[in-house]
Structure 1
């Protein structure tokens, strides 16, 4: 099941791509994850459509600056809501079905949880919280459910952010040990590994950052 909030066009395109590879393997569902009362409906519709739930990937995220002096409650609610609150309540709602099926959860966090990005206070706090949530859920849902996270580095530049100009991008690339930017496929492969090929791994944060977290 592919969830979207406002990106209907993109969701339909991904659905079509996946269904071309395997007929009737993908469906889409709309929902605002900041509204936690809608979460049970998302889960029930998914289970009704496919008959079961084996995996939850918490990938939805909001990303923008929040500097001291410019932080307000709306930014806090938005950034914490999408990056931490939603994964918690989705995981809680999915837990009974995942336990029944010995499933797993994969959260998408960020390499900056170890070294917070300047000017992105709330985002950094939220993603750091998601790391702790990952480890806490690994405890809480064991032994039936494995819970891990992937921490991407420079994989995809944010759209419309003037901060990420060519000079900045080159500096980031130089900070990676592999001296290049990753691809979205690198993150997808890491997620797939944790789902299908890691039966004895839980509570782990897998860095997919070209070694940048070791070198900046």
Structure 2
């Protein structure tokens, strides 16, 4: 006879956590069901952590739930889904869950110009203050468990691409937030940033000349894989015990090649 699942609230989380959820270590991955976030969730789950798969809106609930069910089929009680829009500055609502790792991965990439101040506010909430609200609510757990925060940044913070003003400013803000927390929360919590370069192409990518130009700008001659991002995040979160406050560029050498 199948064990009944606890009823879920409107945010996707169980109304009451059971003993399986309160055992072991957990990681919260924002934007954890797609592209790089999906790879990070899978990698951390394979390392033995329970995973809270965060997604922003109802439209991504089915995808996130499918991932959670796959994790739970592999290891019962090892995954939860949490729906929360970062724009709303969410507080993680289950403080009793032993969250030891937070990966600030969720992002929104779109063009913007200086005068588009509505984009400025939206980008800041998604990348900086939304993640800050989550981290503040999980500070007691992270401190108690001597945990880690890893943010996914962007090498373009230092080498800006045109027409993405507020995305880049917000990503720079996320980077600064995490570096500041490396000092504020030391020695209890380590906080680092992975700054990727070009990663796997979106399925709808169609600009072949730009693809070739990007490849020609990378010394290794290829884009990075999401699994490589996931392993880098996992290393910083779980193994790099004396590293904090750092920005690790994962870009195939792109940021150091003057052409």
Task: Give TM-score scaled by structure 2 length.
Answer: 0.74
> In 2, Cα distance between the equivalents of 1:157 and 1:82?
23
- Equivalence for 1:182: 224
1:5-24 map, 5 Å: 5-6=56-57, 7-24=60-77
Aligned residues: 205
Deviation at 1:20, TM superposition (A): 3.9
> In 1, Cα distance between the equivalents of 2:110 and 2:202?
9
- Equivalence for 1:101: 145
Out of 201, 210, 213, the position equivalent to 2:243 is: 201
- Equivalence for 1:3: 54
Deviation at 1:159, TM superposition (A): 6.2
Is contact 1:62–1:78 with CA below 8 Å preserved after alignment? no
Out of 87, 93, 98, the position equivalent to 1:44 is: 93
Deviation at 1:210, TM superposition (A): 1.1
The unaligned stretches of length 5 or more in structure 2 are 1-51
| 1:114 paired to 2:140 | no
Deviation at 1:99, TM superposition (A): 0.7
The unaligned stretches of length 5 or more in structure 1 are none
> In 2, Cα distance between the equivalents of 1:211 and 1:21?
37
Task: Give TM-score scaled by structure 1 length.
Answer: 0.88
Deviation at 1:160, TM superposition (A): 5.5
Is contact 1:62–1:79 with CA below 8 Å preserved after alignment? yes
In structure 2, relative to structure 1, the CA distance for the partners of 1:184 and 1:77 (3 Å cut) is same
> In 1, Cα distance between the equivalents of 2:55 and 2:106?
9
